[in-house]
Amino acid sequence: MPTYTDMTKCDGCGECVDICPSDIMHIDPVYRRSYNIEPNFCWECYSCVKACPQHAIDVRGYSDFAPLGHKVRVLREKEKGSISWKIRYRDGRVKEFSFPIRTTPWGSIKAPADYAAPDAAGLSSPLLAHEPEALKVAALPMLPAAAK
């Protein structure tokens, strides 16, 4: 379906509604819980699955080519900087994987305005912010100016 929401776990908080890039996780007006209103516009990107505080959202593969009986479950531990997957095959086989997602604390990126302001002349040079240092070569490569 893509995604579907477990009736007993969802508390209707709306995190999935807020994060879905396709605007297809909506709150059902009767049950006050989320559901996928447009499975044929679901990319199985798992953004909502990862964002759900209740772990209430799961994926059942697309009905036009995915046989039933599988599960691909995920636990994204943002503060630990890791993500773990548990894959259960239709025939019962299980695989587990875990990968890092970030090497620095969330929120730690230095904003561009927190660097010393460049001088006005820099605006007409071809260098971008933090260059040439960030290139890790001595100078920005240039071509001979094209024939005018």
Partner 1 sequence: MALFSSRKTIVVDADVLVIGGGFGGCGAAYESRYWGRNLKIVVVEKANIERSGAVAHGLSAINCYMGMQWGENQPEDHVRYARGDLMGLVREDLIFDIARHVDSTVHKFEEWGLPIMKNPETGRYLREGKWQIMIHGESYKPIIAEAATKAASKVYNHIMVTHLLLDKARHDRVAGAVGFSVRDGNYYVFRAKAVIVAAGGASHIYRPRAIGEGTGRTWYAPWSSASAYGLLIEAGAKMIQMENKIVLARFKDGYGPVGAWFLLLKAYATNAYGENYEAARFDEMKALVGAYADVKPMPTCLRNHAMIEEMKAGRGPIYMHTQECLDTKEKEDIGWEDFLDMTVGQAVVWASQNIDPKETPSELITSEPYVMGSHATCSGAWASGPEDCAPADYQWGYNRMTSIAGLFGAGDTIGGSAHKFSSGSFTEGRLAGKAAVRYVMDLQASPEADAAQIEKLAATIFRPLDNYQVGRNEIVAGTVSPNYLLPLHGLQRLEKLMDEYVGGYSTFYVTSEPLINRGLELLSMLREDLDHLGAENLHQLQRAWELNHRVLTAESVARHTLFRQETRWPGYYYRADHPTLDDAAWHVFTASEYDAKTGDWRLGKLPVHHII
Please report, as residue ranges, which positions from 31 to 90 form the binding site for partner 1 (by CB under 8 A): 37-47, 51, 59, 61-72, 74, 76, 83, 85, 87-90
**Which residue of the set 11, 32, 38, 43 is catalytic?**
43
Report if residue 141 touches partner 1, rule: CB under 8 A.
yes
Is residue 106 part of the annotated active site? The answer reads no
Report if residue 102 touches partner 1, rule: CB under 8 A.
yes
Report if residue 20 touches partner 1, rule: CB under 8 A.
yes
Task: For residue 64, give the 3-state DSSP assignment.
Answer: coil
CA distance 131 to 91: 54
Helix then strand then coil, in percent of the chain rounded to 5, is: 15, 20, 60
How many Å separate Cα 101 from the centre of its chain? 10
Rounded to the nearest whole angstrom, what is the least distance from the CB of residue 3 to partner 1 in the complex? 10
